[in-house]
């Protein structure tokens, strides 16, 4: 039976999921979508995401691929498939678009750049509960940006990698790393773009930058953390709820 490959563009609130990847005894985004596809296509339909987000992490834009029979009615009407999926997957996942791509296209391996954002709020607000990290008003964002600039000249991110992970290499190419002030007063976000990310890397980077912002670590100290290539030298891992996979570029 002839099969075609499709890219799915979606977003999700990660608060109620144990990450993107299928877990044996927990609810994941991948499993939820695969179950919905199996129901509609009447066959097991694995999906492959552009990356793996940890438990509690959300995505503004995730891309995933899957294969579907050319004989399926949904192959002729992908908008109908989008509508049907959105009716099944629940309120925490939104499927935006499904498009036919080349048979060899790969959501993970063909992705050139991925961008994450980590949101910080410097005042109390009921509207950002569960969406941003409550930060001190006294954080030195200028110092944090001087430290973040060092990431553009770093290739080995071992100090920010989860211990005992299955990554074959800790080498990443970061092209953007900076704290930005949002259009909303008192809201900041750290944006970082790289060709790949290690497990827990962004939250560890942010946690170490926050130490700089608090005055507990100098910019040179941040540079030494990088040189140490030791996770124990870096700061704590920040809470997951304020982290978003912001974009995937091909």
Q: What is the pLDDT of residues 4-48, one digit of tens each?
A: 999 999 999 999 999 999 998 999 999 999 999 999 999 999 999
Say if CB 239 and CB 105 are below 8 A apart.
no
Q: Which pLDDT value is given to residue 167?
A: 76
Q: Which pLDDT value is given to residue 162?
A: 86
- In the predicted model, is pLDDT for residue 181 greater than 90? yes
What's the CATH number for 3-101? 3.30.70.580
Q: What is the pLDDT of residues 110-168, one digit of tens each?
A: 999 999 999 999 998 898 889 999 998 899 999 999 999 999 999 999 999 987 677 78
Beta strand pairing status for 58-69 and 243-249? parallel
Q: Which pLDDT value is given to residue 184?
A: 84
Q: Which fold would CATH assign to domain 113-249?
A: Alpha-Beta Plaits (3.30.70)
3-state helix, strand, coil in the chain (%, to 5): 30, 30, 40
**Structural domain spans, the chain:** 3-101, 113-249
Distances (CA, A) of 18 to 15, 31, 47, 77, 118: 8, 10, 17, 31, 19
Q: Which pLDDT value is given to residue 183?
A: 87
Q: Which pLDDT value is given to residue 87?
A: 98
CA 144 to chain CA centroid, nearest Å: 21
Q: Which pLDDT value is given to residue 1?
A: 73
| Catalytic positions, written as ranges | 54
Q: What is the pLDDT of residues 182-225, one digit of tens each?
A: 988 899 999 999 999 999 999 999 999 999 999 999 999 999 99
Q: Which pLDDT value is given to residue 168?
A: 85
3-101 and 113-249 have identical folds: yes
């Amino acid at each position: 039976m002839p099969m075609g490959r499709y890219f799915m563009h979606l977003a999700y609130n990660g608060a109620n999921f144990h990450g993107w990847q299928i877990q044996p005894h927990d609810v994941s985004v991948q499993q939820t979508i695969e179950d919905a596809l199996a129901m509609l296509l009447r066959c097991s339909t694995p999906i492959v995401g552009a990356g793996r987000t940890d438990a509690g992490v959300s995505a503004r834009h995730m891309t995933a691929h899957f294969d579907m029979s050319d004989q399926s009615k949904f192959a002729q009407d992908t908008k109908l498939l989008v509508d049907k999926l959105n009716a099944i997957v629940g309120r925490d996942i939104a499927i935006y678009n499904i498009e036919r791509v080349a048979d060899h296209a790969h959501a993970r391996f063909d992705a050139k750049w991925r961008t994450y954002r980590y949101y910080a709020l410097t005042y109390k607000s009921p509207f950002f509960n569960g969406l941003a990290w409550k930060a001190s008003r006294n954080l030195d964002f200028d110092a944090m940006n001087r430290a973040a600039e060092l990431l553009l000249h770093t290739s080995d991110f071992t100090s920010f990698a989860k211990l005992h992970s299955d990554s074959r290499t800790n080498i990443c190419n970061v092209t953007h790393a900076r704290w930005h002030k949002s259009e909303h007063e008192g809201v900041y976000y750290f944006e970082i773009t790289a060709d790949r990310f290690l497990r827990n890397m962004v939250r560890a980077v942010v946690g170490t930058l926050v130490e700089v912002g608090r005055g507990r670590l100098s910019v040179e100290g941040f540079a030494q953390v990088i040189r140490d290539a030791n996770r124990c030298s870096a700061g704590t891992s920040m809470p997951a709820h304020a982290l978003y996979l912001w974009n995937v570029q091909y």
